[in-house]
């Protein structure tokens, strides 16, 4: 069905829409139509707040051991106490505090890696798509190789060599995470490169830098945002996996993956040890994915003329 003939109406208050808050309001108008996306946003905000305010939310030092209170069950079960609302693990560490603190590593790592990886991916994608030819071939072959390699195996090997550590984890995740944004950006740039507005900019003598970053980038940005958001969820899962295997963050930093790993030996008797961190991962990833999909719907230019 052709939609060009459909009447396009915009309310009057969108008239001066170069103002940021007006555009934000327009975006929110689209976004809130999707209930699930709003739910996702609430979940994400909830976890981010937990991460920020964790020093005030914890009841114990997450690494504090209390050998006499091992395997204490959650508060609503027999033998539980408000001292340890979610119980304790095999060393008597407070599960509540560990999970709260674990959100810091997961979210911080997820967001920073996604940010740097996306930035790198955007630059590579712009260069690759805009210049084409040999540059494009080289970058895309690198991308192909990275995609063809079994990443988890490679990451385990690399971490084993580099050793545990947050920065090492950051590098190992970054090493591959730029690939997806790069692909997305390149695809969009290939389309935008042929557009008349780019040609118009070239006709007035604009530089390649200007065309790439000022003309094309704003137009591909919305899809990049969506991809980056969804990558955060993926990175959180990757971090949890690596920590679970034991090649992730150092032992003194509690991370969700590591808490699950700690509890896996006792899961038949003390189910809460792995279940609660697992739920935290599940909720966060679900929230981010819902949010990402909401962003996609709200930012998709096809829905907005």
Segment interacting with other proteins (CB under 8 A) among 83-91, 203-211, 238-246, 271-279: 203-211
6 contacts: CB under 8 Å, gap ≥ 6:
none
DSSP 30: H
Segment interacting with other proteins (CB under 8 A) among 45-53, 90-98, 190-198, 257-265: 190-198
CA 291/CA 232 separation, integer angstroms: 11
In contact, 73 and 87? CB cutoff 8 Å? yes
Total residues interacting with other proteins, rule: CB under 8 A: 31
CA 172/CA 157 separation, integer angstroms: 10
Binds other proteins (CB under 8 A): choice among 197, 267, 282, 303:
197
Distances (CA, A) of 271 to 59, 97, 240, 245, 256: 21, 17, 18, 19, 15
Residue among 18, 26, 13, 57 at smallest CA distance from 305: 26
Residue 17 binds other proteins, judged by CB under 8 A = yes
H-type helices in 132-178, by residue range?
A: 133-148, 151-162, 166-177
C-alpha triplet 107, 284, 265: angle, nearest 5°: 90
Quote the least distance from Cβ 200 to other proteins, whole Å: 5
146 Cα distance to chain centroid: 20
Residue 195 binds other proteins, judged by CB under 8 A = yes
In contact, 114 and 235? CB cutoff 8 Å? yes
214 contacts: CB under 8 Å, gap ≥ 6:
206
Quote the least distance from Cβ 268 to other proteins, whole Å: 54
CB nearer to other proteins: pick between 53 and 197 = 197
Segment interacting with other proteins (CB under 8 A) among 2-10, 109-117, 172-180, 286-294: 2-10
Residue 16 binds other proteins, judged by CB under 8 A = yes
Site string for other proteins, 274-303 (x = CB under 8 A): ---------------------------x--
Residue 26 binds other proteins, judged by CB under 8 A = no
Hey, what are 89's tokens?
């693990």
Quote the least distance from Cβ 226 to other proteins, whole Å: 16
Residue 6 binds other proteins, judged by CB under 8 A = yes
Residue 5 binds other proteins, judged by CB under 8 A = yes
Quote the least distance from Cβ 99 to other proteins, whole Å: 41
Number of Cβ atoms within 10 Å of the Cβ of 131: 15
Residue 70 binds other proteins, judged by CB under 8 A = no
Q: What part of residues 207-266 is at the interface with other proteins (CB under 8 A)?
A: 215, 218-219
Residues that bind other proteins (CB under 8 A): 1-7, 9-11, 15-18, 29, 195-197, 199-206, 215, 218-219, 301, 305
């Amino acid at each position: 069905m052709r939609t060009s003939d459909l009447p396009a109406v915009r309310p009057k208050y969108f008239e001066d829409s170069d103002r940021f808050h007006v555009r934000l309001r327009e975006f929110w108008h689209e976004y809130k139509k999707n209930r699930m996306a709003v739910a996702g946003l609430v979940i994400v905000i909830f976890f981010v707040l937990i991460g920020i305010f964790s020093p005030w939310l914890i009841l114990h030092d997450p690494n504090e051991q209390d050998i006499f209170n091992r395997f204490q069950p959650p508060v609503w079960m027999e033998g539980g106490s408000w001292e340890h609302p979610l119980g304790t693990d095999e060393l008597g560490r407070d599960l509540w505090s560990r999970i709260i603190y674990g959100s810091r590593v997961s979210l911080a790592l997820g967001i920073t890696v996604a940010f740097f990886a996306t930035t790198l991916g955007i630059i590579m994608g712009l260069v690759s798509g805009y210049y084409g030819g040999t540059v494009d071939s080289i970058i895309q072959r690198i991308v192909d190789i990275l995609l063809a390699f079994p990443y988890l195996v490679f990451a385990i090997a690399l971490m084993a060599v580099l050793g545990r550590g947050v920065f090492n984890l950051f590098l190992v995740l970054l090493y591959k995470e730029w690939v997806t944004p790069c692909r997305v950006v390149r695809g969009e740039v290939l389309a935008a490169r042929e557009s008349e507005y780019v040609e118009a900019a070239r006709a007035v003598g604009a530089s390649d830098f200007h065309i790439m970053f000022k003309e094309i980038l704003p137009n591909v940005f919305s899809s990049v945002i969506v991809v980056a958001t969804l990558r955060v969820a993926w990175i959180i899962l990757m971090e949890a996996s690596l920590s679970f295997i034991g090649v992730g963050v150092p032992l003194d930093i509690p991370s969700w993956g590591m808490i699950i790993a700690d509890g896996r030996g006792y899961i038949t008797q003390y189910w809460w040890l792995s279940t609660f961190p697992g739920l935290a991962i599940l909720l966060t990833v679900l929230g981010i994915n819902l949010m990402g999909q909401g962003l996609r719907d709200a930012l998709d230019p096809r829905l907005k003329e």
